[in-house]
Structure 1
Amino acid sequence: MAGFLSELVQYRRLLLMLVVLGIGGTHLSGFQMSVINYTSPYIQKFINETWLERYGSVLPQERLMLLWSLIVSVYCMGGMIGCLCSGCLTAAFGKKKSLLFNDVVLVTAALLTASSRRAKAFEMILAGRFLEGIAAALALSCLLPLGIHMNAHVQYAGEISPKKLRGFINVTSTVFLALGKTVARILGLRELLGTEDMWNLLLSFSGLVALIQLIFLPFFPESPPYLLLQKEDKAGCLKAMKQLWGEGNYQTEFDDLMKEKAITKGTKIMNVLEVLREGSVRPQLCTMLLLLLSLQLCGLSAITFYTSEIFETANLHESIIPYVSLGVSISELISIIFCSSIIDRCGRRLLLCGGYLLMALILVLLETSLLLSDQFLWLRYCSVILIFLFIIAYGLGPAGAVVAVMNEIFTLSTRASAFVIGGIIIWLGLTFTGMVFPFAVMLLGPFCFLIFVAVLVISVVLIYLFLPETKGKSTSEITEKFKSCRFKRKHHQPVEMYAAEEKTFCTRL
């Protein structure tokens, strides 16, 4: 306990910076991910009233739905632009300046949204949503959002962390993501801002949070790796380490950065096309592809789709359902916080494999309870409990570990562009699942859970075989691990020898 308190005092400035990063980073992604659900009926009514006042006629239902879908989708359009711009911004200006720029965009978007009712212009909501989308590429169904503030936040947090706390600090981005969803559900209650008179203030709440980050972030330094590897400022790097980590000997961390600098000497920050063409980065890209697709296809979208139906069949009163949904968000938040406290002890692979296996087991039980709920009414309540358990398993494992691994397997010269590629993978995956999943539900019903069970089991096997443990290792060491664990056969080695070497390394915890 004494050791924990001493570390808390030593790293107090680092923890303060994590709070400042989080509230204006992934917290906003989580908030914007959930808040639109609470304002939907009020925005549609506002559009109707505005149209009637302007043109003296009622807006047809088809056109109303078109405008509403445009308000929802324009956020995603801006999100794709934000995703593509984030790599260039973080590489050219650093994570700190990128986040400050992002805050200015968000404050502008909040002002537009907050003023829309007084101006009687729903077009201002469209403009505000587009700017918010540029600031954050929204990933639906509680997936990993990759926009300017997500990219910059995750990379920034990973780069300012000492090696022994790297897993914990990387997971904080997911903690704040879950916190944002929880805050949105709290503020969206009818007793607070989820009312017809306050919905525009609820939508613009993100601007207040961005303003707080805009004020306090300039008091903190740029990340040490960025200062040393890109700006070649050794003195500034050491100064930033002491500012963030307190007084102490950080020669080991500095030597690790110097090794990475030697490896990447003469190598500029790569753009997306250069990273795709770089053969030495392909194992890391394949790993990222595996992790992101497994996260998207883990069954969370199916759980989200069936949650309301399961709550209704369990005879939960309509007025209670928002509080039960809030309980689901709080469960996710608590489980991710717990994940952040154990990830540096358990390692990334154990959390990923264990979390996915537990999620697969819960989906099998949920499938069984849904099929038999008409025969045994008490199984409907078991289904509600299983939803909570699934969210907890998701938070304990993949929700935190995926972000940690993604931030650790790339060097500074490739990280920004790799995150852009990751964002594109997510958007393509979302487009595919968004088009296919409703038809799968229509054809298979609750049997669609079996698809996700198969995906989870296959993901566990591939992660176990091909993902090296990154716990406690520097970026240069992780790069060497990937080099020794090839995805392709080496022509000058016998197949049997290579297979033996691959098995020996890749399956070792």
Structure 2
Amino acid sequence: MEARLQPTLVLTTLSASFGSVFQYGYNIAVINTPHKVLKSFYNDTYFERHGTYMDENTLLLLWSCTVSMFPLGGLLGSLVVGLMVNKWGRKGTLLINNVFAITSAILMGVSKVARAFELIILSRVLVGICAALRRLRGHNYNVEAEMEEMRIEERTERAEGRLSVLNLFTFRPLRWQLISIIVLMAGQQLSGINAVNYYADIIYTSAGVDPTQSQYVTLGSGVINLVMTIVSAVIVERLGRRILLLSGYGTCSSACLVLTVALLLQSTVPELSYLGIICVFAYIVGHSIGPSPVPSVVRTEIVLQSSRTAAFTVDGAVHWLTNFIVGLTFPSIQVAIGAYSFLIFAGVCLLTAAYIYVVIPETKGRTFVEINYAFAKRNGVEFPEEKEVTTAKPHTPSLPTKETSF
């Protein structure tokens, strides 16, 4: 029977996706634009308490903590999501999660009246928990809400080939599947998207963009992000996962390299400051095509449904931990080495692309058994003839909505 896209499924997918994407993307970028106002509030509050202003190092450390508390909350959320789902279910977890969002908004709103910048930091932790629960449960809810006919067919075929799959699923190929998830999610964050977000206002200012008008440039970046994510969703089933990942990381690496040169030489050649803005846009294009959306597709395709909870827990922990590291350390790195800090992210992108090229097989249109066979083949694990283990229909879940927003 031909599967049809039901209106209820469309509404479910949109509501779950919008909630997860909005909380994640908005709170990643929102802290950057008002950073001068927030730092001033921190300093004024500290002066009221102690009769003196903070030194630069203390203020930088406090600001780094503010930025990094969001991914720290995300890390906590990714670790407790399994417990919450077991107790309240997927839908219940998504509903209860609103408590974290509402509480965070209240704390942020009363922080100025209470003259307590600590409330801002705490609110960042809570909204991080909210974003992590939304990100993991929202995507899972979408995948598991697919048409029942497809799920019934898939379960029937898996039941027929269960023994062969279990025999093939040895530790050695599983090891590479787990490592691949870790590399993809770490590369997604260490590629530098949050650093570009943080540095964007500095780049805009150096290009002569009026700070009061920089919001429009930022809006343009967000539009580019949205458009390219949609493009990625359209072409991922045509071109495959590997080519989008490789081209995306390649674009990000090139943008970081050129951005470094532009920032270093703009004092000599002022026109290069505009090249910096172009590099930011180019980076967003590359990240939106591959590193941002595609890893979530690959992680779903390389592990069985029964193993996905554990895999997604590892995925979430790595994603948020590396996000936390970047948020905590980048402000200090930027102060210490300036434009050269983007060479670090260029190197990470190149190494991640090299790993994908050497280790991760194409998963488009392939069954789990075929993907597992490809991983094992790279590790020298002997399998039965490939034709004996390719009877199941391919499973290719839809590309999730973007996970990072500028």
Bin for the TM-score computed over the shorter chain: 0.7 to 0.9
Q: Which residue, out of 88, 92, 104, partners 1:97?
A: 92
Q: Which residue of 2 aligns with 1:356?
A: 249
Determine the structure 2 residue equivalent to 1:62.
Answer: 54
For 1:383, give the aligned amino acid.
G
Q: Is the 8 A contact 2:68 2:328 kept in 1?
A: no
Distance 1:26 1:51, change over 3 A: same
CA shift, 1:315, in A, is 1.7
Matching residue of 1:376:
269
User: Aligned partner of 1:148: which letter?
Assistant: L
Secondary structure in 2 aligned to 1:376? coil
Q: What are the superposed Cα offsets for residues 161-219 of structure 1, whole Å, 9 maximum, x if unpaired?
A: 4xxxxxxxxxxxxxxxxxxxxxxxxxxxxxxxxxxxxxxxxxxxxxxxxxxxxxxxxxx
Q: CA deviation at 1:443?
A: 6.0
Does residue 293 in structure 1 map to residue 186 in structure 2? yes
Separation (CA, whole Å) in 1 of partners of 2:18 and 2:112? 26
Instruction: Please say if residues 91 and 416 of structure 1, whose CA atoms lie closer than 8 Å, have aligned partners that are also in contact.
Output: no
In the alignment, the residues of structure 2 paired with residue 129 and residue 377 of structure 1 have an alpha-carbon distance, to the nearest angstrom, of: 37
Percentage identity across aligned positions? 30
Match of 1:152 among 137, 143, 154: 137
Q: Does the alignment pair 1:29 with 2:24?
A: yes
1:411 aligns with 2:304: yes
Contact 2:71 2:321 in 1 (8 A): no
Match of 1:166 in 2: none
Question: Does the Cα contact within 8 Å between 2:228 and 2:285 map onto a contact in 1?
Answer: yes
Check conservation: 1:370, 1:383, Cα contact below 8 A: yes
Tell me by how many angstroms 1:43 deviates: 6.1
Distance in 2 between residues matched to 1:391 and 1:26, nearest whole Å: 16
- Alignment-derived partner of residue 462 in structure 1: 355
**TM-score scaled by length of structure 2:** 0.76
2:156 aligned with 1:258: yes
Q: 1:392 deviation in Å?
A: 1.2
Structure 2 CA distance for partners of 1:279 and 1:449, relative to 1, 3 Å: same
The 1:58/1:383 distance shift into structure 2, 3 A limit, reads same
Query: Which among 200, 203, 208 is matched to residue 307 of structure 1?
Result: 200
Aligned equivalents of 1:343, 1:302: Cα separation in 2: 26
If asked which structure has higher relative contact order (CA below 8 Å, sep 6+), I would say 2
Alignment RMSD, CA only?
3.9
Residues 317 and 366 (structure 1), Cα distance of their counterparts in 2 relative to 1, 3 Å cut:
same
Q: Deviations over 1:73-97 (max 9, x none)?
A: 5545433321211133335654323
1:21: Cα distance to partner? 0.3
Distance 1:68 1:449, change over 3 A: closer
Where 2:97 maps in the other structure, the secondary structure is helix
**CA displacement at 1:38 relative to structure 2:** 5.2
Report the Cα offset of residue 394 of structure 1: 1.5
| Distance in 1 (alpha carbons) for counterparts of 2:201 and 2:111 | 31
Q: Does 1:19 align with 2:4?
A: no
Indicate the residue corresponding to 1:498 in structure 2. none
User: Partner of 1:471: helix, strand, or coil?
Assistant: coil
Distance 1:85 1:264, change over 3 A: farther
**Distance apart, 1:465 and its partner CA:** 2.2
Describe the shift of the 1:278–1:370 C-alpha distance in structure 2 as closer, same or farther (beyond 3 A): same
Q: Which whole-Å CA distance do the structure 2 matches of 1:158 and 1:152 have between them? A: 10
CA deviations 1:91-141 (Å, max 9, x no partner) are: 5654323212212433344455456667777666565444323323xxxxx
Q: 1:468 to 1:435 in 2, by over 3 A?
A: same
Deviation at 1:160, TM superposition (A): 3.0
CA distance in 2, matches of 1:126, 1:436: 16
Q: 1:59 to 1:155 in 2, by over 3 A?
A: farther
Deviation at 1:390, TM superposition (A): 1.7
Question: 1:357 & 1:386 partners in 2: Cα distance?
Answer: 13
Q: Give me the TM-score of the superposition, normalised by structure 1.
A: 0.62
Report the Cα distance in structure 1 between the residues aligned to 2:103 and 2:310, rounded to whole angstroms. 27
Give the unaligned 5+ runs of structure 1.
Answer: 1-5, 137-146, 162-240, 243-249, 268-276, 494-509
Task: Determine the C-alpha separation between the residues in 2 that align with 1:74 and 1:85.
Answer: 17
Contact 1:468-1:481 at 8 Å conserved across structures? yes
**How many corresponding residue pairs?**
375
